Amino acid sequence: MNKVDKFEGVRKVSQKHNFVVLLKNYFLSGTLLYSGMSLLLNGFDKTSLEYSRLGIQNKAYKKIKSKYKKIASQETTLATTSFDDTNVIWFCWLQGIENAPELVKRCYEQMTNLFSEKKIIVITAENYREYTNFPTFIIEKWQKGIISNTHFSDLLRIELLHFHGGTWIDSTVYFSDSDVPTVFFEADIFFFQKLKPGRDGSKVTMSSWFMTVKKKSFIIAKTRELLFTYWEKKNYLVDYYLFHIFFTIACEVYPEEYENVSKYCNSIPHILLLELFSSYDSKRFSEIKGMSSIHKLSYKFSSTDILKQDTFYQELFK
């Protein structure tokens, strides 16, 4: 294995996360020593880093679950207000859609074209108060930068689904067709998950980029309660996937509700992302769209990739 391949995983992680922030998170979650030993034993290539990441996440999950087990076991109260319109899609770009990256704008444009029968609400820093009932400490910590925009969006989705229901769709979800399974928009509660055999060894298996709630949910209410309890006391993020960890705990507290969630794999909607800057091939694009009409993408690309000609990425804008 050459030197570039050996550290491929490190390079990719550094593009996505700030190493200083990662180390700080590992320290705060009590997994720093474990993460160091895991990296030394497994290595630094992409596959080895994934082994380490799963181990670190599982250890963080156990610590957080133990710390919040009392709150998790307490009775949860559902929102007393009734859902007024669950035919809504919640789409968020805090700076306003006009200031969003081109891919986010394209995802929004495609969604509005394909789902004109739905009420699509764009949540921004200017209007979020109209739809939420956040405690003061959440807003203040977000305004001070203690809660980042990324994790504020986690709080937004759980707040909106708790009080209003509907469907939360991340700003980087692209629809190639409106023909999606009915359950995606009509289930009492729906979210994509990591399924077997990929979920083996993973304690945290849910995805939060597409979530539907048509009926008051104890899982949603418990996740909200855990998140608010955490941020009321803490001024730092103990784990990047804190939302997912609390959501997983809530699913374990309410197994009957969780068992009724239709199982759809979260990896298939990522296939287009993996080939986004490959040379465009119409046959391959048809194959990908045949596997899923919903695609989880990203807007965080290098200018070199974006400027490549005749790619799947370029095709999205035609």
Strand 294-296 relative to strand 173-175, pairing: antiparallel
Per-residue model confidence (pLDDT) at position 2: 45
Report cis status (omega within 30 of 0) of the bond before 181. Answer: no
Cβ atoms of 246 and 226 within 8 Å: the answer is yes
pLDDT tens digits, 226-276: 999 999 999 999 988 999 999 999 999 999 999 999 999 999 999 999 999
d(C-alpha 249, C-alpha 243), whole Å: 10
User: What is the maximum span of the chain, computed from C-alpha positions, in angstroms?
Assistant: 60
Per-residue model confidence (pLDDT) at position 81: 82
Tokens of 223: 């996740």
Rg (CA), the chain: 20
Per-residue model confidence (pLDDT) at position 200: 72
CA of residue 61 relative to chain centroid, distance: 17
Per-residue model confidence (pLDDT) at position 25: 67
pLDDT tens digits, 36-68: 776 666 666 666 566 566 667 778 889 999 999
Per-residue model confidence (pLDDT) at position 4: 45
Per-residue model confidence (pLDDT) at position 45: 67
Tokens of 165: 């229901």
Q: Which helix (H) or strand (E) holds 49?
A: helix 46-67
Which residues, 6+ apart, have CB-to-CB distance to 137 below 8 Å? 231, 232
Residue burial 198-231, b: 16+ Cβ < 10 Å; e: rest: eeeeebbbbbbbbbbbbebbbbbbbbbbbbbebb
**pLDDT of 32 strictly over 80:** no
SS3 annotation, 52-91:
HHHHHHHHHHHHHHHHCHHHHHCCCCCCCCCCCCCCEEEE
pLDDT tens digits, 71-117: 999 999 898 888 888 899 999 999 999 999 999 999 999 999 999 99
Cβ atoms of 219 and 246 within 8 Å: the answer is no
Average pLDDT taken over every residue of the chain = 89
Per-residue model confidence (pLDDT) at position 9: 46
C-alpha closest to that of 223 among 79, 84, 119: 79
Which residues, 6+ apart, have CB-to-CB distance to 259 below 8 Å? none
Instruction: Give, in order, the Cα–Cα distances in Å from 202 to each of 44, 55, 235.
Output: 20, 8, 28
Task: For the chain, give the percent of residues with pLDDT over 70.
Answer: 83
d(C-alpha 209, C-alpha 147), whole Å: 19
Per-residue model confidence (pLDDT) at position 83: 87
Cβ atoms of 83 and 165 within 8 Å: the answer is yes
Confidence of residue 212 (pLDDT cuts 50, 70, 90): very high
